[in-house]
Chain A
Amino acid sequence: MASGLNDLGRFAEPALLILVALADGPKHGYAIMTEAERISGSPLGPGTLYAALGRLERRGLIEPMARESRRRPYRLTGAGASILEEQLQELERFARTGLTRLASQR
């Protein structure tokens, strides 16, 4: 099982955005893409979206659900939720450290 997302290289950031987009419930491809773009403020291309989805699915961090018409929703797995929580806590520690250091200079 993957211990993190860092070894995904250039797909690490899109993968994290996808996990965050799925954190509040299953979504299909287009909804994931628009949600990820809204969270990050930068565009997420469909090629990158599906490259990252494929990697997350391969690692068992997300899973496809039954197809609804032509759309297929994805949801977080238990492993995916754990990894996401771990990643966000790491980011929180990083942000807190940075803010503390910045505040000490003022």
Chain B
Amino acid sequence: MRILLRLYPAAWRARYEEEFLAVLEERPLSPFDTLDIVLGALDARLRPRSLAIEVAPRRNSSMSPRISGYAAIAGGAVALLMIAIGLLVPEPANGSLAVFLFPVVAIALLLALLGLSAAQGRRLPALTWAAVVIPAAGLVTSLVGVLASAALGDRFIIGELSGWHLWSIGLGGAIFGSILFAAATIFVGVLSRGAAITLLAGSLALGLIGIPVGMGMFNLAPNPAVFTLLVGGGIAFCLGWIWLGFAAAFPARRPAVGSPG
């Protein structure tokens, strides 16, 4: 009988267990009673607030801003390193390094997005959907793409899409999502607006210039101005994330009201 009672939540057992056992000891347990107890336990677990038991307040499951901040700093810094490698290290070595570094960037920025958005989402719940799902989906897709590309080369993995295609589509989604995320961050005003403006500028530059270049709509080589804008956009994108990370991980201490000084 006590085994059956273990199906109930601890708060319920603390309140009712002894008297419930006293009831059960009054008559032999039938299959009907056993099933009824299992359903009762399910009810107590699913709807504890409808019962007269004290339910412990739900722990905040969102990631702490500090951890999200560290993730944003790491993601931005490694992305900056990738830009430096792209500029300074000749091919094909830079491509091999990118395969190793990009997953770090994608995972770190994914953690940052989820954590930082959770902090902002309390003020503007729609943000969670509008500005998180798209960049998160983009980052995951691009991560799958880069791993597939490394493992399978140019082979098609979904329809006529290769890993490289998935990476490109995902990156486009992540950049477009970053525009949304930065705009929402500016609007909500919980995190640094300066950082969000930097991220917005970088994301816009990458989106407006980087995506058409990536799609082969125009050649980069004869356009030094475009190249400069693209690199500048990439750097602003990385700095925006790093700045957001610092703002979340090391929030400025404000003097308490009425405290001296």
Contacts and interface: CB of A to CB of B under 8 A. Distances in A.
Contact of A48 (B18, B19, B40, B51): B40
Interface residues of B, number: 26
Q: State the majority secondary structure of interface residues on A.
A: helix
A49 B50 CA distance: 14
A55 B52 CA distance: 6
Contacts of B19: 28-29, 67, 70-72
B43 interface: yes
Given A47-B38, A47-B40, A47-B41, A54 B52 contact: yes
Nearest to B52: A57
Interface of B: 12, 16, 18-24, 26-27, 32-33, 35-41, 43-44, 50-53
A105 B24 CA distance: 48
Contacts of A46: 20, 23-24, 33, 36-37, 40
Interface of A: 28-30, 33, 43, 45-51, 54-55, 57-58, 67, 69-72
Contacts of A57: 51-52
B39 A47 contact: yes
A33 B40 CA distance: 15
Given A70-B21, A71-B19, A30 B26 contact: yes
Given A28-B19, A29-B23, A70-B21, A47 B37 contact: yes
A50 B20 contact: yes
Contacts of A55: 50-52
A50 B7 CA distance: 14
Contacts, number: 72
A69 B35 CA distance: 27
A55 B51 CA distance: 5
A70 B51 CA distance: 21
Contacts of A58: 50-52
B22 A29 contact: yes
Given A50-B16, A57-B52, 19 more contacts: A30-B23, A30-B27, A33-B23, A45-B40, A46-B20, A46-B23, A46-B33, A46-B36, A47-B38, A48-B40, A54-B12, A54-B50, A54-B51, A54-B52, A55-B50, A67-B18, A69-B22, A70-B22, A72-B18
Nearest to B51: A54
A47 B50 contact: no
Nearest to B38: A47
9 contacts: A29-B23, A30-B26, A45-B32, A46-B23, A47-B36, A47-B38, A48-B40, A54-B50, A54-B51
Nearest to B21: A70
